[in-house]
Amino acid sequence: MVFALWPRSGTSATTITGDSETYRVELTTSPRSGPVTTSVRVTRHDRGPVLLDEVGIDAVMPAMGHAVPQVVATRRDDRFEAGGELFTMGGLWDVSLHVAGETVTVQIPVTEGQG
16-69 pLDDT, tens digit each = 999 999 999 999 999 988 899 999 999 999 999 999 999 999 999 999 999 999
Is-contact 93 80, C-beta < 8 A?
no
Q: Which CATH class is domain 14-110?
A: mainly beta
d(CA 111, CA 109): 7
Closest by Cα among 91, 95, 16, 93 to 55: 95
Express as a percent the part of the chain with pLDDT over 70: 88
